[in-house]
Amino acid sequence: MENGLERGIFELLCYMIVSARNLDQETKMYGPFRLVDAASRLIEILEESGIGDEFLSQVRSMIEANKYKVMTDKEGFVAFLDDLALKMVGRLKEAE
Amino acid sequence: MRVFEAIKGRRSIRRFENRSVDKKVLQKLVEAGIWAPSGGNAQTWVFIIVTDPRRIQKIKAVSPGMLGIPSALIVVCQDKELAYEKGGEIGRDTLSIMDAAMASQNIMLRAYEERLGSCAVLSFHKKGVQTLLNLPERIVPELVICLGYPAESPKPPERKFEEICFFEEH
pLDDT digits (tens, 9 = 90+) for B139-161: 999 999 999 999 999 999 889 99
Cβ within 8 Å of B, A 32-91: 34, 37, 68, 71-72
* pLDDT band of A14, cuts 50, 70, 90: very high
Is the Cβ pair A15, B64 closer than 8 Å?
Answer: yes
Asked if B60 has any chain A CB less than 8 Å from its own CB, the reply is yes
Average pLDDT, chain A: 93
A93: left (phi over 0), alpha (psi -120 to 50) or beta: alpha
* pLDDT band of A1, cuts 50, 70, 90: low
Taking residues B82-91, what's their average pLDDT? Answer: 97
How far does the CA of residue A22 sit from the closest CA of chain B (Å)? 7
Question: Is pLDDT at A96 greater than 80 in this prediction?
Answer: no
Taking residues B38-43, what's their average pLDDT? Answer: 97
Sequence-ordered list of residues with C-beta below 8 angstroms from that of B5, at least 6 positions apart, any chain: none
Whether B33 contacts B47, CB under 8 Å: yes
Q: For A80-89, what is each residue's pLDDT tens digit?
A: 999 999 999 9
Record: fold of B3-164: NADH Oxidase (3.40.109)
Tell the burial category of A93 from Cβ atoms under 10 Å away from its Cβ (0-12, 13-18, 19+). Answer: exposed
Whether A8 contacts A48, CB under 8 Å: yes
Task: Given the cut 0.90, state whether the ipTM is greater than it.
Answer: no
Question: Is pLDDT at A2 greater than 90 in this prediction?
Answer: no
Q: For B121-133, what is each residue's pLDDT tens digit?
A: 999 999 999 999 9
**How many CA within 13 A on the CB side of residue B65?**
21
B12: left (phi over 0), alpha (psi -120 to 50) or beta: beta
